[in-house]
Amino acid sequence: MHPDPLPSPGDLVDEHQAAAILGASVQTLRNWRWADKGPRYRKVGQRLVRYHRADLAAFVEAGKGGRAAA
């Protein structure tokens, strides 16, 4: 089995870009990470948090079957 290839430079976005893509706030993304919910993310070094565009798309796609708020 081959390891996952390194992402292309445009594949990873920071939490501000990810929040804009999802239409959520940066604080919401931070809350999701703390609660181990939300889209998959990657830690780069000790502090940098990055999201892969494909993971954001998968997260949105998975949520399409959910219940709408009343």
Instruction: Give per-residue pLDDT as tens, 24-67.
Output: 999 999 999 999 999 999 998 999 999 999 999 999 998 875 55
Residue 1 belongs to a domain: no
Tell me the whole-structure pTM to 2 decimals: 0.75
70 pLDDT band, cuts 50/70/90, is: very low
Residue 53 belongs to a domain: yes
Residue 32 belongs to a domain: yes
Residue 69 belongs to a domain: no
Residue 29 belongs to a domain: yes
User: Domain range holding 45?
Assistant: 12-63
Total domains present in the chain = 1
Residue 39 belongs to a domain: yes
Sequence-distant (≥ 6) Cβ neighbours of residue 18 within 8 angstroms: 29, 39, 41, 51, 56
Please say whether the beta carbons of 24 and 31 come within 8 A. no
12 pLDDT band, cuts 50/70/90, is: very high
Residue 30 belongs to a domain: yes
Residue 2 belongs to a domain: no
